[in-house]
Structure 1
Amino acid sequence: MRKAIPAFLLLSLLTAPSTLRAEGSVGRIEVLIDNMRSPNGVVGVALFNAKKGFPDKNALAYKGRSVPAGKRCEVIFENVPYGVYAVSVLHDENGNGKMDKGFLGIPKEGFGVSNNPEIKMGPPSFSDSRFDLKSEKLTLNIDMNYLRKPKNKNQQ
């Protein structure tokens, strides 16, 4: 019995550093955005670590980045602590810094979220979009959604 206690203590001491290392670990999140409608404007990407503010209150995001729009966009978040996150993306085609909405609040510009959940009534939830960062590198593929067709300038 006496030998079992020191063996248990030794085992817990040997495993403690790896547990501490995992808690303090950071990773890299690479966000690849496809199905862009046009190369106009900018693409804003927000990384959330809580449901509060997700998906459209960027001031409450853990981190945010923007890049020029293109056929395919890439945004990288470095040194992100391991944990639970969700990503939201906005294709701000006219560059006014906000999501333009039409009648009944339907988005006029493209958007997407991590996990590409089915778009239903209302914005996607944090729980449908969440993912676990628990490795040094994680790649997310996000498809843009456009609920409205762009106005054809030739038909005006």
Structure 2
Amino acid sequence: MKKTVQTFLLLSLFASPAITLADSPSCGRIEILIDNVRSEEGIVGVALFNAKKGFPDKSALAIEGRSIPAGKRCKVIFENVPYGTYAISVLHDENGNGKMDKGFLGIPKEGFGTSNNPEIKMGPPSFSDSRFDLKSKEMTLNIDMKYLRKPENQEPQ
């Protein structure tokens, strides 16, 4: 029951846009293809940001979000997005607890990714490294999931 409530909370967070996107001639469609998802456990949350505030991990500050069941390759579409500058943040919440689990020194235990697939350095990717301009009716972005740790239940080889 507790896991169901936590999953619902995460789904609500990614499913409820903070700002409603309007349908207008200067709007486009962003298709996000997420590759290298480690397992089909849990959910994949995708957040669309139009500013660096909150990026990449405070999805409540995103202008829109989606949550889908995890699969080896996932696809999310944002419709009627006004032309402008954005960044995408992705989280593979494998255990469905509604948050990014971290270990020692804050190293993520679960998968993540951002638009432009920037190189991972110290700390999370920045908005400026992940930003892109939407200025056409359709755009497709490929995001590769990154995992910095092996799954907790994986046997040593």
Decide: shared fold, TM above 0.5: yes
Match in the other structure for 1:87: 88
SS of the aligned residue for 2:151 comes to coil
Q: Which digits, 9 at most, give the CA deviation of each residue in 1:34-82, with x for residues without a partner? A: 0010000000000000000000000100100000000100000000000
Of all paired residues, the percent bearing the same amino acid is: 82
- Paired with 1:88 and 1:151, the residues of 2 have a C-alpha distance of 23
Post-superposition, which runs of at least 4 consecutive aligned residues in structure 1 deviate over 4 A? Answer: none
* In structure 1, C-alpha distance between the alignment counterparts of 2:126 and 2:136, rounded to whole Å: 24
Q: Secondary structure at the match of 1:127?
A: helix
Distance 1:106 1:91 in 2: 14
Q: Indicate whether 1:121 and 2:135 are aligned.
A: no
Q: Distance in 2 between matches of 1:99 and 1:24?
A: 37
- Residue number in structure 2 paired with 1:54: 55
Output the CA distance in 1 between the equivalents of 2:108 and 2:154: 19
Q: Which runs of 5+ in 1 are unaligned?
A: 1-22
Deviations 1:105-140 (A, max 9, x none): 000000000000000000000000000000000000
CA drift at 1:154:
5.0
| Partners of 1:42 and 1:151 in 2: CA distance | 17
User: How many residue pairs were aligned?
Assistant: 133
CA RMSD of aligned residues (A): 1.3
Larger radius of gyration between Structure 1 and Structure 2? 1
Partner of residue 67, structure 1: 68
Query: What letter matches 2:38 in structure 1?
Result: R
Structure-2 change in CA distance of 1:149 and 1:63 (3 Å) = same
Q: Which has the higher helix share?
A: 1
Q: CA deviation at 1:24?
A: 5.4
TM-score of the pair, normalised by structure 2 = 0.82
